[in-house]
Amino acid sequence: MLPSLLSSPNKSVKAAVRKLPRLEGRRVRVRFLPALTADARKLYSNRDHGQPVHAATYIRRRVVVLDQQLKESPRELARILTHELFHFAWVRLSNENRRSYEKLLRAEFRQRARGELGWSAECRKICLRPPVAAAQDREWREYLCESFCDTAAWLYSGVRRHDEFTLARRHRHRRAAWFQTTFRGKQIPI
């Protein structure tokens, strides 16, 4: 990743970015706010409203907001930041690549794969009911995106072990192979 692509003076953010594959795109600004919560797609800081969250991403504004507490845990910051940055990659994936990733996840569902590579995907996966939702269903699309971002965080953040990495090894290997094939030798657009 080009250092100028991410705007943050935080040393942990800069360290996390050095672990990432080559990303390309306009600058993304990273901000920290205390005590983040979210409700109905709105983000709050220092308010007793909504559910606690680690981060939020604003694609059009090119901003990632991270909870200030993440500064105290560089590994968790790397994992969460990588996840958030890959939201930008998801929206820039070609339709062909999105369909290919969806095909991979549909195969996992047919094989009754349990677990995920992060809570963002896991909580959405739990809510899906067989047969797997149609491609146009919002819940299914949100799961695809969160799964993609959690997989990228598992693969690129440098965090090798985490309580949220519950997906079976064979499925992890397939996802890693998909990322390697899809982005081999290319900068990842964000």
Backbone phi, psi, residue 13, to 5°: -65, -45
- What is the domain extent for residue 137? 95-189
Identify the pLDDT of residue 77: 95
Reported as a pLDDT band with limits 50, 70 and 90, residue 14 is confident
164 with 111, same domain?
yes
Q: What confidence score (pLDDT) does residue 92 get?
A: 97
pLDDT of 89 reads: 98
Q: Are 88 and 24 part of one and the same domain?
A: yes
Other beta carbons less than 10 A from residue 109's beta carbon: 14
Region 135-146: mean pLDDT is 88
Asked if 62 and 34 sit in the same domain, the reply is yes
Do 80 and 15 share a structural domain? yes
Domain shared by 12 and 50, yes or no = yes
| Single-letter amino acid code for the residue at 82 | T
Mark which of 41, 75, 92 sits at the end of a domain.
Answer: 92
My answer on whether 182 and 100 are in the same domain is yes
Mean pLDDT lowest among 101-110, 131-140, 154-163, 176-185: 131-140
Over residues 2-23, the mean pLDDT reads: 76
Residue 130 in tokens: 């067989």
Q: What is the pLDDT of residue 1?
A: 45
Q: Quick: pLDDT tens for 40-89.
A: 889 999 998 899 999 999 999 999 999 999 999 999 999 999 999 999 99
Tokens matching residue 17: 């970015």
Q: Check pLDDT > 70 for residue 25.
A: yes
Encode pLDDT of 76-129 as tens digits.
999 999 999 999 999 999 999 999 999 999 999 999 999 999 999 999 999 887
Judge if 99 and 88 occupy the same domain.
Answer: no
> Taking 50 as the threshold, does the pLDDT of residue 177 lie above it?
yes
Predicted TM-score (pTM) of this structure: 0.92
- Structurally, the chain folds into a number of domains equal to 2
Residue 116, H or E segment: none
Identify whether residues 87 and 103 lie together within a single domain.
no
pLDDT at residue 136 in the model? 63
Domain co-membership, 11 together with 69? yes
Please report which helix (H) or strand (E) contains residue 63, including its range: strand 63-67
Mean pLDDT of all residues in 151-162: 96
Quick one: pLDDT at residue 44?
93
